[in-house]
């Protein structure tokens, strides 16, 4: 029996393992929505309040569940809302199948109502995008889009005019099963031997790992033991390489902490494993660098690499380690780990102390969340200062995960990512660290959580300012301006919507409020009123950054805003002392 384009699309999604479609219905999507309606036993439609949130949620679902997910946007404005979330999916390597429906095929190019140019618009945030202008293209085009999403870890998209979606496919073109098995790649023996040669000449070796180590944790730790090498990690490697790792020395980068910065600075050979860490200023110059990545374009684009190995990290290390001679000299490792522990003590300054600023210390809130959350909790973290508190104060255990807008750096990601993570893995606790600015952008998704009963725990760091932007202004010498925001009582807003909601202003109330939220059988939001002046000092501070901060302070004093300077000093005197 002949099927419509929409029916084939839904059948293919089910075949590919997709169990959730996030989005909003619309007239151009009606044939696809009707096909989904007839397949509710196999695939669920999750109705969000903004397509952008749907894309964030789909990406989080895919990353946590390990299955591909889908997102749907209707013609024109509906699909345009997908763009930001799909950029995040693409850059996070989340396998997402996106369907953007379009105006009637006979009207394309006429300036019709809601007409856009979706192929051009989505070209930058997809592995594959194609317009289905004729039913005869099916199922080949959708097969290619699904395989691009799954095999290339990113977004595969089809653009479907509403009239085409309703048409019958009489002669299916090149129909075949969806290919979902990703290849395993490893370097040549000659390349591995060259790596052994470089490693054998080095005395002080450090390892820096990222997302690409996710399926290779045991191999990375074995390599560390073999080479007596400290292990640092990018943010995306934190939930892989931090837990139960005696050789771990923390993160580097703007959000970094611990001994990672010294490990990279003092080593004479650096092994970069599965990381596309973007901040080359935090990577060492003048060192021998070996980089392993399964994406050739990642090799050498962040640092001057002496040897690039194209391969899966786990497969590469399983081939490499037997070729290496185990080392007994652990002086560099012990020195670096000792320094790491002293640095960790330093950043705990405010984790258990109230401080003297205006509002709660965010470090206390993040530490309490880490202490009270489940051992296999999923944390989603908003871009901005919440990223700092998550990076430094959420302690990883073997079952825990962290999701954020790691490479895209979008605000407003934590709430919708929490919805997707919980939908994809309903048995796990999901905790979102939301900035007040980020939450405000997509606050309508509180209605999604309440309406669908998605049991997410939303922890709002309400400092009434765009904190990261404020700090970035000060560090280069600008006076903070345009960063203050006026917020409601987010706890009361949550209650009005139907969530469990509270507002916390005293340090003594932090842990009891979190415990109540975690015990509540449904979505909950806690509004923590935090100190807007709380700073996070990077792992190493440049003379230029100190000069910029001093310049800002001087401008504030001479501008008559001594109260601001005094408040900043009271809030961060211990951090500033550590940096200096």
Confidence at residue 550, expressed as pLDDT on a 0 to 100 scale: 53
DSSP-based three-state secondary structure for 396: coil
Residue 565 tokens, joined: 């300077």
> Does some domain include residue 183?
no
Confidence at residue 244, expressed as pLDDT on a 0 to 100 scale: 97
Return the exposure string of 308-325: e unless at least 16 CB atoms fall within 10 Å of the residue's CB, then b. bbbbbbbbbbebbeeeee
Residue with structure tokens 């509540």? Answer: 520
> Does some domain include residue 437?
yes
CATH number where 205 lies: 3.40.50.1220
Q: Which domain holds residue 451?
A: 348-579
Confidence at residue 253, expressed as pLDDT on a 0 to 100 scale: 86
Confidence at residue 347, expressed as pLDDT on a 0 to 100 scale: 86
Q: For residue 453, which phi and psi values (nearest 5 degrees)? A: 65, 35
CB 535 within 8 A of CB 575: yes
Tell me, yes or no, whether 258 and 352 share the same domain: no
Residue 143 tokens, joined: 């097969």
Confidence at residue 236, expressed as pLDDT on a 0 to 100 scale: 97
- Pairing between β-strand 430-435 and β-strand 378-381 as defined by DSSP bridges: parallel
Tell me, yes or no, whether 227 and 312 share the same domain: yes
Domain boundary among 303, 324, 341: 341
- Pairing between β-strand 3-4 and β-strand 168-169 as defined by DSSP bridges: antiparallel
**Nearest CA-CA partner of 161 in 23, 22, 32:** 32
CATH number where 85 lies: 3.40.50.970
Domain boundary among 311, 341, 371: 341
Residue with structure tokens 């964030």? Answer: 56
Domain boundary among 341, 356, 388: 341
> Does some domain include residue 451?
yes
3-state helix, strand, coil in the chain (%, to 5): 45, 15, 35
Tell me, yes or no, whether 316 and 426 share the same domain: no
Per-residue pLDDT of the chain (580 residues), as tens digits, is 789 999 999 999 999 999 999 999 999 999 999 999 999 999 999 999 999 999 999 999 999 999 999 999 999 999 999 999 999 999 999 999 999 999 999 999 999 999 999 999 999 999 999 999 999 999 999 999 999 999 999 999 999 999 999 999 998 878 889 999 988 999 999 999 999 999 999 999 999 999 999 999 999 999 999 999 999 999 999 999 999 999 999 999 888 889 999 999 999 999 999 999 998 889 999 999 999 999 999 999 999 999 999 999 999 999 999 999 999 999 999 999 999 999 998 888 888 877 666 899 999 999 999 999 999 999 999 999 999 999 999 999 999 999 999 999 999 999 999 999 999 999 999 999 999 999 999 999 999 999 999 999 999 999 999 999 998 888 888 899 999 999 999 999 999 999 999 999 999 999 999 999 999 999 999 999 999 988 776 655 554 544 554 554 555 444 444 444 445 455 554 554 544 4
Tell me, yes or no, whether 334 and 193 share the same domain: yes
Residue 285 tokens, joined: 């110059």
**Nearest CA-CA partner of 471 in 573, 381, 567, 384:** 384
pTM of the model: 0.93
> Does some domain include residue 135?
yes
Tell me, yes or no, whether 141 and 67 share the same domain: yes
Provide the number of structural domains found in the chain.
3
Confidence at residue 564, expressed as pLDDT on a 0 to 100 scale: 45
Tell me, yes or no, whether 312 and 384 share the same domain: no
> Does some domain include residue 175?
no
CB 97 within 8 A of CB 70: yes
Tell me, yes or no, whether 444 and 389 share the same domain: yes
Tell me, yes or no, whether 151 and 285 share the same domain: no
DSSP β-bridge partners for residue 330: none
Confidence at residue 566, expressed as pLDDT on a 0 to 100 scale: 40
> Does some domain include residue 174?
no
> Does some domain include residue 92?
yes
Tell me, yes or no, whether 424 and 538 share the same domain: yes
> Does some domain include residue 177?
no
Tell me, yes or no, whether 134 and 193 share the same domain: no
| CB-based contacts of 531, cutoff 8 Å, min separation 6 | 355, 357, 358, 359, 360, 361, 362, 463, 571
Residue with structure tokens 């962290």? Answer: 402
Residue with structure tokens 């999901």? Answer: 430
Tell me, yes or no, whether 364 and 296 share the same domain: no
| CB-based contacts of 227, cutoff 8 Å, min separation 6 | 199, 205, 207, 324, 327
CB 433 within 8 A of CB 414: yes
Tell me, yes or no, whether 568 and 429 share the same domain: yes
CB 570 within 8 A of CB 532: no
Q: For residue 177, which phi and psi values (nearest 5 degrees)? A: -60, 145
| CB-based contacts of 114, cutoff 8 Å, min separation 6 | 75, 76, 77, 103
Residue 159 tokens, joined: 């653009």
Confidence at residue 534, expressed as pLDDT on a 0 to 100 scale: 87
CB 42 within 8 A of CB 67: no
């Amino acid at each position: 029996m002949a099927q419509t384009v929409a029916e084939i699309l839904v059948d293919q999604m089910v075949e590919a393992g997709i169990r959730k479609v996030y989005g909003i219905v619309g007239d151009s999507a009606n044939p696809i929505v009707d096909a989904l309606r007839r397949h509710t036993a196999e695939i669920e439609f999750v109705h969000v309040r903004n397509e952008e949130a749907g894309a964030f949620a789909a990406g989080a679902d895919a990353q946590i569940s390990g299955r591909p997910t889908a997102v749907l946007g209707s013609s024109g404005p509906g699909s345009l809302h997908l763009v930001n979330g799909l950029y995040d999916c693409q850059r996070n390597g989340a396998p997402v199948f996106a369907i953007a429906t379009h105006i009637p095929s006979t009207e394309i190019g006429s300036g019709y109502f809601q007409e856009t140019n979706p192929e051009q618009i989505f070209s930058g945030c997809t592995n594959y995008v194609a317009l289905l202008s004729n039913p005869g293209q099916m199922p080949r085009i959708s097969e290619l889009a699904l395989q691009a999403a799954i095999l290339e870890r990113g977004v595969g998209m089809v653009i479907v005019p509403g009239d085409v979606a309703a048409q019958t496919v009489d002669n299916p073109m090149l129909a075949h099963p969806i290919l979902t098995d990703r290849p395993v790649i490893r370097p040549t023996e000659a390349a591995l031997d060259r790596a052994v040669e470089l490693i054998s000449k080095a005395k002080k070796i450090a390892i820096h790992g990222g997302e690409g180590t996710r399926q290779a944790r045991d191999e990375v730790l074995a390599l560390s033991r073999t080479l007596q090498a400290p292990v640092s990690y990018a943010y995306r490697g934190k939930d892989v390489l931090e837990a139960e790792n005696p050789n771990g020395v923390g993160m580097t980068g703007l959000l970094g902490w611990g001994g990672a910065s010294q490990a990279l600075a003092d080593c004479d050979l650096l092994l970069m494993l599965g990381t596309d860490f973007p901040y080359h200023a935090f990577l060492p110059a003048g060192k021998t660098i070996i980089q392993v990545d399964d994406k050739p374009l990642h090799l050498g684009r962040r640092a001057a690499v002496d040897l690039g190995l194209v391969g899966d990290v786990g497969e590469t290390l399983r081939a490499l380690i037997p070729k290496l001679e185990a080392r007994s000299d652990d002086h560099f490792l012990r020195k670096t780990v000792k320094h790491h522990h002293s640095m960790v003590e330093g950043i705990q300054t405010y984790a258990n102390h109230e401080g003297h600023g205006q509002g709660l210390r965010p470090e206390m809130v993040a530490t309490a969340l880490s202490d009270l959350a489940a051992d296999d909790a999923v944390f989603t973290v908003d871009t901005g200062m919440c990223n700092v508190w998550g990076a430094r104060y959420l302690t990883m255990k073997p079952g825990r995960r962290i999701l954020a807008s790691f490479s895209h750096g979008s605000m407003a990601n934590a709430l919708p990512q929490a919805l997707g993570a919980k939908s994809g893995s309903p048995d796990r606790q999901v905790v979102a660290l939301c900035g007040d600015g980020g939450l405000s952008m997509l606050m309508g998704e509180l209605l999604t959580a309440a309406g669908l009963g998605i049991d997410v725990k939303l922890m709002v760091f309400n400092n009434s300012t765009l904190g990261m932007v404020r700090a970035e202004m000060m560090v280069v010498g600008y006076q903070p301006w345009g960063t203050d925001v006026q917020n409601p009582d987010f706890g009361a807003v949550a209650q009005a919507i139907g969530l469990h909601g509270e507002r916390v202003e005293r340090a003594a109330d932090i842990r009891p409020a979190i415990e109540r939220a975690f015990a509540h059988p449904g979505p909950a939001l806690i509004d923590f009123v935090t100190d807007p002046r709380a700073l996070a000092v990077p792992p190493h501070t440049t003379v230029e950054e100190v000069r910029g901060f001093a310049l800002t302070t001087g401008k504030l004093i001479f501008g008559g805003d001594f109260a601001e300077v005094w408040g900043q000093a009271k809030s961060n005197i211990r951090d500033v002392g550590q940096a200096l």
